[in-house]
Amino acid sequence: MATYNDVDFKNIPKILEKSNKSVDTPSGYNQDSIELLGSLPALFMDDEIFSSNKDIAEFSLHALGVSIPRWEKKSKYELIGHIVCNAKMLDHARLKRLCNSVQKLSDQRSVERQDIKEQIKSGLSWNEVIESMIYGE
């Protein structure tokens, strides 16, 4: 502490609050896309929803517009990394709906999650499941 005798420790909370507010969003991303990309890895690791790499690859293609070449030969971690690093920017309205859907899907107790699980079990394609998630159809 003696080394830092010129620091006013009472101001640290103010400094931290100011620095948190001034964090810039990376160029080309908005807050919704950052939230979405931040929540996708945990969601993709959920074996109840994404039981296979094929499920992840289809979701990536249909929901995010990210094609994963040779997904059959990649690990789940490689697929997730590819998606997070290559996600295309979605239009704001679609992105907002997708963020809301992913949040509901991540909630273990949500009705939407149970609906999605039932749709998957019934044999619907991820394209159909995603359309119902995003557009409520």
Give 73's pLDDT tier (boundaries 50, 70, 90): very high
Buried b (16+ CB within 10 A) or exposed e, 66-76: bebeebeebee
Is 113:50 a contact under the CB 8 Å cutoff? no
Is the CB of residue 84 less than 8 Å from the CB of residue 40?
A: yes
pLDDT at site 68: 92
Tell me: pLDDT of 93 over 90: no
* pLDDT at 2 (0 to 100): 58
| pLDDT at site 22 | 45
Alpha-carbon gap, residue 94 to 91, rounded angstroms: 6
**pLDDT on residue 77:** 92
What pLDDT is stored for residue 136 in this prediction? 63
Other CB atoms within 10 Å distance of the CB of residue 38 = 10
pLDDT, tens digit, 9 for 90 and up, residues 10-23: 666 666 666 555 44
Q: 28: which DSSP letter?
A: T
Query: Can you give the three-state secondary structure of 14-28, one letter per residue?
Result: HHHHHHHHCCCCCCC
pLDDT of residue 103: 79
* pLDDT single digits (tens) 26-68: 555 567 677 777 888 888 998 888 889 999 998 888 888 888 9
Using alpha carbons, select from 46, 28, 45, 32 the residue that is nearest to residue 99. Answer: 32
For residue 67, which of 55, 58, 78 has the smallest C-alpha distance? 58
Contacts of 94 (CB under 8 A, 6+ apart): 134
**Residue range 106-135, pLDDT digits in tens:** 887 888 788 888 888 888 888 788 777 766
Residue 105 CB coordination number (10 Å)? 20
Gap between the Cα atoms of 63 and 10, Å rounded: 47
Domain ranges of the chain: 32-135
